[in-house]
Amino acid sequence: MATPRTFLLVDEQAGDPDGDTVLRIRGELDLSTAEQLRAAAAPYLTAGGRLVLDLSEVTFCDSTGLAVLVGFHKRLAASGGGLELYAPVQRVRHLLHITGLNRVFRVRTEGEEAAPR
């Protein structure tokens, strides 16, 4: 029996009214897809702006995925920017809560206004 492959799709969303970069993440964020997300986000981590990750279609996240998010947070903070997680699914919100990362990241639910700059 073949092992199922995990997948991750990253799309840049245009037209954010605040001028932030929005990356829509779809699929599983884990050891096998972490490097793909790092590569997709790399151009946006040093510009000093806010990076919004739309997590509404992330179906799974493990400790490697969380480590990637923490790394993004640190790099953006060092360049005067910020990271916002938008609409994480219940499973991911629970993971953020039990790890305490919900107090580190700005987490916005669907329909909630963006945080002021």
Residues with Cβ within 8 Å of 37's Cβ and at least 6 positions away in sequence, in order, are 8, 10, 25, 29, 65, 68
Q: What whole-number distance in Å separates Cα of residue 35 and Cα of residue 19?
A: 26
pTM reported for the whole predicted model: 0.85
| Tens-digit pLDDT string for the chain (117 aa) | 444 456 678 777 654 556 689 999 999 999 999 999 999 999 999 877 899 999 999 999 999 999 999 999 999 999 999 999 999 999 999 999 999 999 999 999 887 665 444
pLDDT for 2? 41
DSSP at 81: -
Residue 98 has phi, psi (to 5 degrees) of -70, -20
Q: What whole-number distance in Å separates Cα of residue 27 and Cα of residue 8?
A: 5
Residues with Cβ within 8 Å of 81's Cβ and at least 6 positions away in sequence, in order, are 45, 47, 48, 49, 50, 51
Q: What whole-number distance in Å separates Cα of residue 85 and Cα of residue 70?
A: 11
